[in-house]
């Protein structure tokens, strides 16, 4: 058995080691399952070998549903910390508990499963329903070396924006003053504070529960000297910034002129998020340009990208804009 690993690697390199059967020992000897007889200096014997059972990879592998419902099984869901959040199709509502238990069995790092019943109200908080595991909505989510305390029943948070958040972080220049108009629990603000030489980040949110979690996360990540928190309506904020983040895709356009009023005199950058029909993307861009022009700014579109598909026709888009004051005419 002492030479077993060496022989196993040789068999593997020669593509004759069976990956569908388990290796086992017998009377002090190591039995390696092979696909064909090969001379390795050891005897070849016939034995019944136990098959390898591949681990489940999807909900379809672990969820037992009546015939005809297999195509209803969700192909995607979110994992926030140790909480899985899933949308349940109408036809699977009678099996929602089974769906929750299946998710628990599929992911060893998941201890709670919640149903996402949609985002509601002015504060856009998820309506979540308990399905399986521990009965709680609070967790700690890790992203790019930071930790965020999240309560999914009190403040919106999506791990799907991790790549987008990091993309914005990489654009921040040293010495900038940043305004995060809809900060939530603080992912943009805190990542910017930790990974750039920014001067100040003003993190604003109208939701008192979100601001409470934001303050907790600022302390947790030790960025109190950089991130200033504020519970306020973004329309009423009087802060001058070099860069503004507008992550409120369903209604950010309503605040665009307020964002323009918060730019420093030399202008700056705005990261605008929008939920828009695919066919209306160009109209949305022109609308933002018109609003900027009315406020005395000329607009350069630095980037336009689809963050994700929201529905059959709508997409979640990110627009990076550079705003420069229009020179005064003589």
Q: Can you give the CATH number for the domain in which 22 is found?
A: 3.30.70.2580
- pLDDT score of 69: 85
In a domain, 149, yes or no: no
The owner of tokens 């420093």 is 264
Is 143 part of a structural domain of the chain? no
CA–CA separation, 42 vs 35, rounded Å?
Answer: 15
Task: Give yes or no: residues 290 and 251 share one domain.
Answer: yes
Residue 153 lies in a domain: no
Residues 171 and 313 occupy one common structural domain: yes
pLDDT at residue number 71:
83
Q: What angle do CA 222, 155, 184 make, to 5 degrees?
A: 50
Q: Are residues 268 and 216 in the same domain?
A: yes
Number of domains in the chain: 3
Mean pLDDT per 10-residue interval, the chain, length 330 residues: 76 83 82 84 83 70 80 88 94 92 91 89 85 97 97 94 96 98 97 97 97 98 97 94 95 95 96 94 95 96 92 92 82
Distance CA 174, CA 226 (A): 13
DSSP, collapsed to helix, strand or coil, labels residue 169 as helix
Q: Is residue 167 part of a domain?
A: yes
Which residue segment(s) compose the domain that 91 sits in? 59-64+72-136
Residues 307 and 200 in one domain: yes
pLDDT of 330? 38
At residue 279, the pLDDT reads 92
Output the CA–CA distances (angstroms, integers) from residue 84 to 88, 92, 126, in the order listed: 12, 17, 13
**At 307, which CATH number?**
3.40.50.150
Q: Are 45 and 188 members of one domain?
A: no
What is the pLDDT at residue 56? 60
pLDDT at 40: 81
In a domain, 146, yes or no: no
Last residue of a domain, one of 136, 166, 184: 136
231 and 314 part of one domain: yes
Instruction: Give, in degrees to the nearest 5, the angle at Cα 244 between 200 and 317.
Output: 140
**Model pLDDT, residue 79:** 95
Q: Does one domain contain both 186 and 249?
A: yes
In a domain, residue 152? The reply is no
Is there a domain that residue 151 lies in? no
Tens of pLDDT, residues 206-250: 999 999 999 999 999 999 999 999 999 999 999 999 999 999 998
């Amino acid at each position: 058995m002492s030479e077993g690993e060496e022989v196993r690697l040789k068999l593997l390199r020669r593509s004759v080691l069976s990956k569908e059967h388990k290796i086992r020992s017998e009377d002090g000897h190591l039995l390696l399952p092979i696909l064909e007889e090969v001379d390795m200096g050891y005897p070849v014997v016939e034995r019944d070998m136990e098959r390898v059972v591949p681990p489940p990879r999807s909900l379809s592998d672990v969820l037992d549903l009546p015939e005809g419902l297999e195509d209803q099984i969700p192909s995607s869901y979110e994992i926030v910390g140790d909480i899985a959040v899933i949308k349940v199709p109408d036809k699977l509502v009678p099996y929602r508990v089974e769906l929750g238990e299946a998710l628990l069995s599929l992911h060893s790092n998941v201890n709670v499963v919640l149903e996402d019943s949609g985002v509601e109200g002015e504060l856009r908080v998820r309506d979540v329903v308990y399905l399986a595991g521990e009965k709680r909505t609070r967790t700690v989510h890790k992203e790019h070396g930071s930790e965020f305390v999240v309560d999914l029943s009190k403040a919106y948070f999506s791990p799907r924006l991790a790549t987008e958040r990091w993309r914005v972080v990489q654009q921040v220049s040293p010495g900038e003053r940043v305004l995060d108009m809809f900060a939530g629990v603080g992912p943009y603000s805190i990542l910017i504070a930790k990974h750039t030489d920014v001067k100040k980040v003003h993190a604003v949110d109208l939701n008192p529960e979100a601001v409470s979690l934001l303050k907790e996360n600022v302390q947790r990540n030790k960025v109190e000297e950089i991130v200033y928190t504020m519970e306020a309506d973004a329309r009423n904020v009087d802060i001058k910034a070099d860069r503004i983040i507008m992550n409120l895709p369903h209604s950010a356009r309503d605040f665009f002129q307020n964002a323009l009023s918060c730019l420093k005199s030399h202008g700056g950058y705005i990261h605008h998020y929008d939920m828009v029909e695919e066919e209306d993307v160009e109209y949305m861009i022109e609308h933002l340009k018109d609003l900027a022009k009315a406020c005395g700014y000329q607009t350069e579109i630095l980037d336009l990208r689809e963050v994700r598909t929201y529905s059959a026709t709508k997409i979640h888009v990110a627009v990076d804009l550079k705003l420069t004051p229009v020179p005064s005419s003589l």
